[in-house]
Amino acid sequence: MREAMNLETTKVGDIIPFGAPHWRVLDIQNDKALLLSENVIEERAYNKSKTDVTWKTCTLRRYLNGEFYDSFSAEEKARIVETSITNHNNPWYGTSGGNATTDKIFLLSLKEVVKYFGDSGRLENRPSSTNIINDQHNTPRVALDREKTATWWWLRSPGFRSSYAARVAIGGGVGVGGLSVISDSGGVRPALWLNL
């Protein structure tokens, strides 16, 4: 590993080094920690072409579980847990989330971003005439890019149609309706389960 860390004392909310980025600990279960990159690692489209896709078929998933995963050392790779990922339909629009996947690296879903950053109940009880959740939990969801500027970041859930993917907006609101999958200014904030 590139930087020493004491995993025995790791707790939810800690920021820890692992590979190149630093990671926020979102959850700990059975000696495994769910990590989310503390900031956006790069800008990349969810999919290379504007077509109907799911997390299973998008090019961003292939990149994260291929080139990005391969950037870790052999020792680091051995600690990353291969995880069964459920891909729920969009709760506001019913857009199909597609089949379950097995991933080393993934993006958070709409349900997970609400679970780990604060739930105002709006995902399950949609406010009228909006496609975004703006609530008291916006600030913790804000992420920075390499220039330390707030930027939006992708979620793996579908948006209001299958050629759109959900996102977290610059100000931290949850964009349930999403943006076009070919938007290449989208921030990538990978997640993984790490053996402690």
0.85 cut: is pTM over it?
Answer: yes
Residue 117: the pLDDT is 96
Mean pLDDT of the chain: 94
Is residue 83 within 8 Å of residue 102, measured between CB atoms? yes
Compute how many other C-beta atoms are within 10 angstroms of the C-beta atom of residue 96.
13
- Residues 42-52 have a mean pLDDT of 97
- Residues 154-158 have a mean pLDDT of 98
Q: pLDDT tens digits for 124-134? A: 988 878 899 99
Q: pLDDT tens digits for 64-95? A: 999 999 999 999 999 999 999 999 999 999 99
Dihedral pair phi/psi, residue 71, rounded to 5°: -75, -15
Dihedral pair phi/psi, residue 24, rounded to 5°: -95, 130
| Sign of the alpha-carbon dihedral angle for 174, 178, 179, 180 | positive
CA distance 150 to 41: 12
Closest CA to 71 of 192, 171, 170: 192
Over the chain, what HEC string results? CCCCCCHHHCCCCCEEECCCCEEEEEEEECCEEEEEECCCCEECCCCCCCCCCCCCCCHHHHHHHHHHHHHCCHHHHHHEECEEECCCCCCCCCCCCCCCEEECCECCCHHHHHHHHCCCCCCCCCCCCCCEECCCCHHHHCEECCCCCEECEEEEEECCCCCEEEEECCCCCEEEEEEECCCCCCEECCEEEEEC
Residue 20: the pLDDT is 85
CA distance 110 to 115: 9
Residue found under tokens 């629009």: 93
Domain ranges in the chain? 7-195
